[in-house]
Structure 1
Amino acid sequence: MLFLDKRWRFTCMLVCALPLFASANENSRVTQSSINVEVLTRAFDKIIVTNERPFYGVILLVQGGEPIYEYQQTTEGQKALSSASPFLLASQSKMITAAVVLNAVDEGKLLLNKPLNDYLAQAKQALYHPDITIRQLLNHSSGIAPIGQNNRFTPGSQFQYSNLGYEVLA
């Protein structure tokens, strides 16, 4: 689960991973005393070292109010993490971006079917295909292409997973 605080920092809760590192009790439930910290530490350390993408961030697992696993990795040349630290979140950020956009829709700040360019023109940003809407960006049906290139397809006519669409939404 990811939580977003007021400074837009992300905290990763690894609750769903805990059963993998727990000793089974009679009900096969995870309890505070059942988490094997040594197994968990070795597993996380292995995942961090062997992953093809670099890990930048902080992992903190707490049991009974006490930290049982802590790990911090900063980007090269950076001494400590801050709210301005860059993180590779990949598609995890899409869920948060969608939630923030839909919250703005609920508050009447954005309209799902309004053209994207209406918002970008107000912000003096570069413009995309004139028919692209917020809804199409959210559901990967915009066909958005980098500025200066033709749209991949007519907005709303197809589905194509789009990192760029969510970068523009963000």
Structure 2
Amino acid sequence: MRNFLLFILSSICISSQSNLLGKENTITKNKLERFLKQNDIPGMSVSILYNGNIILSEGFGYSDIDNKIRVNPSLTKFRIASISKIITALVLMKLNELDSINIYNTPSFYLDSIPREKYNFTIRQLAGHLSGLQRNPSGERWDQLNDYTEQKFYNSLKKDELDFEPGTQFQYSNYGYKLLGLLIEKSAKKQLLIVKKIML
């Protein structure tokens, strides 16, 4: 009898929680729709988790306005912009922990294509926006016509100058994190090759 009563109470709790979430989700969706219109945003995707469960996953607006394709949280891809920096920093420190990268070395220690004397800052300074690199590399576009390749990036490194002496100022730099990305890519490939050899 006790187990049966417990089952009924559990069912009531789940049902009432589900009803409550339904109401909250409706309120949330309405607020998000208003936010979309007020800020003239073409489309966005929102997913909310609670205790490890998805309680809301909804697309709002359009991923393609011209063709009237609506945002689908499972399919629509968004640019994540500077969230990439958080991921880059996390991977960098993991590679440092694994002794694959030493953050107190200069980038030229790992990448031969970088002018050694010109860019004599540490990887730590690079990750902390203290390297002196300008915000963006010269020649890079920020539109759909952007065809900025790795080779063009290295060409920019050869001609661009530092804005200040490393370690003396803070300057947010996409440039620096592009360089970190190349450095991590080379180091991670080397690490993967080592692991592959060990496994074979």
Q: TM-score, normalised by structure 2?
A: 0.52
- For 1:139, the aligned partner's letter is G
Instruction: Output the CA distance in 2 between the equivalents of 1:133 and 1:86.
Output: 34
Match of 1:18 in 2: none
Question: What is the root-mean-square deviation in Å for CA atoms of aligned residues?
Answer: 3.8
Deviation of the 1:44 alpha carbon:
1.9
What residue number does 2:91 align with?
100
Unaligned stretches of 5+ residues in structure 2: 1-16, 138-155, 182-200
Aligned AA (1:38): T
Contact map agreement 2:42 2:65 (CA 8 A) in 1: no
Say whether residues 1:157 and 2:168 are aligned partners: yes
Note if contact 1:32-1:63 (Cα within 8 Å) is conserved in structure 2: no
1:37 to 25, 28, 31: 25
Please say which structure displays the higher CA radius of gyration.
Answer: 2
CA distance in 1, matches of 2:111, 2:39: 37
* Paired residues of 1:41 and 1:69 also in contact (CA < 8 A): no
Using the TM superposition, give the Cα deviation of residue 45 of structure 1 relative to its aligned residue in structure 2, in angstroms.
2.4
Separation (CA, whole Å) in 2 of partners of 1:135 and 1:103 = 13
1:49 to partner: Cα distance = 4.1
* Matching residue of 1:167: 178
Q: Whose relative contact order is higher, 1 or 2, with alpha carbons under 8 Å and at least 6 apart? A: 2
Corresponding residue pairs, total: 136
Q: Distance in 1 between matches of 2:115 and 2:36?
A: 39
C-alpha distance after superposition, 1:28-72 (max 9, x if no partner): xxx76544111100122233444467656x433356956534117
Contact 2:133–2:175, Cα closer than 8 Å, also in 1: yes
Alignment equivalent of 1:46, drawn from 31, 34, 53: 34
Asked if the contact 1:132/1:144 (under 8 Å) is kept, the reply is no
If the length of structure 1 is used for normalisation, what is the TM-score?
Answer: 0.60
1:120 is matched with: 111
Deviation at 1:109, TM superposition (A): 1.0
* AA matched with 1:97: T
DSSP-derived class of the 1:71 partner: strand
Give the secondary structure class of the aligned counterpart of 1:120.
coil
Residues 1:40 and 1:108: Cα distance change in structure 2 (over 3 Å): same
Per the TM alignment, residue 117 of structure 1 is displaced from its structure 2 partner at its CA by 1.9
After superposition, the C-alpha distances for 1:66-124 in whole angstroms (9 at most, x for unaligned) are: 6534117546799898xxx8633233222221111111110111111111122222xxx
In structure 1, the gaps of 5 or more residues are: 1-30
| Cα distance in structure 2, aligned partners of 1:168 and 1:86 | 24
Contact 1:120 1:127 in 2 (8 A): no
Residue identity in the other structure for 1:42: N
CA spacing shift, 1:45–1:114, aligned 2, 3 Å: same
State the percentage of identical aligned residues. Answer: 26
Instruction: Give the match for residue 144 of structure 1.
Output: 133
Any idea what SS the aligned residue of 2:110 has?
helix
